[in-house]
Structure formats: C-alpha cells, structure tokens
C-alpha cells in the first residue's frame, strides 16, 4: 500500500469514527463488568488516528483535519435533525421509531460540536507541547497525556452544555458525578491503545523529503 493511501485511510478512519460515535452514542450497553455509551467502541480509533497523523505530518495537518471533520459533523447532524422534522409519508415503515432513534435536540447538537472542537484543538496543542518538551522522545507520554487532558474537556463541556439544568437533578455536582467515571474510562482506553500509536507511526512512515 502506498504511503499516500495509508494517510488517506487514517484520515477516513478519524472522520468515520467521530461520525459513528455521534450517531451511535445514545445507546448505553453492557461491556462485561461496566456500562458505557457504545461510542466508546470507536473513540480509541479516532484518537489513535489523529495522534499518528500529528506525530508524522505535524500540527497544522492535524488542525486542518479536525476543522474539516467539524464541518462534516455539523453537516451530518443538521441533515439528521432536518430528516426527523420532515413529515412522514403514509407508506413510511417505522416513522416513530426512526424519529426516536435519530432524533436530536438542537442543544445536544450544539453541545456535541462545541465540545469536539474545543477538545480536539486542546489535544493538538498538548501533543505539540509535550513533543517539544521531550525533544520528540516519549511518544507514549504525548499520546496518552494529550488524550487525558482533551477528553476531560470534551466530556465536561458536552455534559454541561447538553444536560445542565434540564431538570433540577442535573446540577453541577450531578454533572460532575457523570463526567468523572466516564472520563476515567476514556483514560484507561487511551492508555491501553498507546502501543497501537507506535504501530501506526511505523506503518505510516516518514513523509517524503521535499524536492
């Protein structure tokens, strides 16, 4: 496989994982000894792909990919919202079930896009800073460190924007009670996935020298 094709595979994997996490994330499933949103299945792939791309291609390339993904995510969420608002035809098979599954409030949509943008940009900056501090050594530190920081921001911003004040129960303390265990789970997944970042960097290889 040519290097350019490998790069495009990683970009596609990142974008697809983000979209899938947002579309599937409403379901809470049982994963052995813990419960979590099913988006946890694809979350590691998105950060693994972005870490590999930034390590090899650099900060600006990673930023462009994130901004492009924001545009795609906004498009998908808006189209999904519009689809659920359109009246169903008489021959529609499962209109209520469709709207129930794909229905998304404007508040949740804005929360998702905002949290993703802030967290991803923070991930890129922390990754770059750690890379400079360690003089390009200790890839494991920047891969896990950037994810730990960014995912705390992502989880916290999304939970507060989407659910704070929805009912009296959803006050700040209750939101943080939801944030902490889910963030810790994401941290554990990020640490487990660190060896795959090394494999991904080796697989992608160094960019060609400029002529």
* Residue-averaged pLDDT of the chain: 89
Q: Where are the domains of the chain?
A: 3-204
Least confident of 7-16, 43-52, 100-109, 124-133: 100-109
Question: pLDDT tens-digit profile of 122-162?
Answer: 999 999 999 999 998 999 999 999 999 999 999 999 999 98
At 28, is the secondary structure helix, strand, or coil?
strand
CATH number assigned to the domain covering 3-204 = 1.10.1760
Listed residue (48, 50, 28, 51) closest to 40, CA to CA: 28
- Predicted model pTM: 0.88
């Amino acid at each position: 496989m040519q290097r350019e094709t490998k790069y495009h595979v990683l970009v596609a994997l990142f974008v697809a994982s983000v979209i899938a996490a947002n579309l599937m994330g409403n379901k809470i499933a049982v994963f052995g000894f813990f419960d979590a949103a099913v988006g946890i299945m694809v979350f590691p792939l998105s950060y693994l792909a972005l870490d590999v791309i930034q390590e090899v291609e650099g900060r600006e390339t990673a930023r462009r990919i994130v901004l492009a993904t924001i545009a795609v995510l906004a498009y998908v969420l808006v189209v999904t919202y519009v689809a659920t608002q359109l009246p169903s035809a008489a021959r529609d098979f499962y209109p209520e079930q469709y709207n129930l599954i794909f229905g998304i409030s404007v508040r949740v949509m804005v929360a998702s896009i905002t949290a993703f943008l802030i967290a991803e940009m923070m991930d890129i900056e922390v990754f770059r800073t750690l890379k400079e501090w360690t003089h390009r050594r200790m890839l494991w530190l920047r891969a896990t460190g950037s994810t730990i920081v960014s995912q705390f921001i992502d989880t916290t911003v999304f939970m507060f924007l989407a659910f704070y004040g929805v009912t009296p129960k959803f006050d700040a303390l209750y939101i943080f009670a939801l944030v902490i265990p889910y963030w810790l789970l994401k941290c554990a997944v990020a640490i487990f996935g660190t060896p795959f970042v090394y494999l991904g960097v080796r697989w992608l290889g160094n960019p060609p020298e400029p002529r």
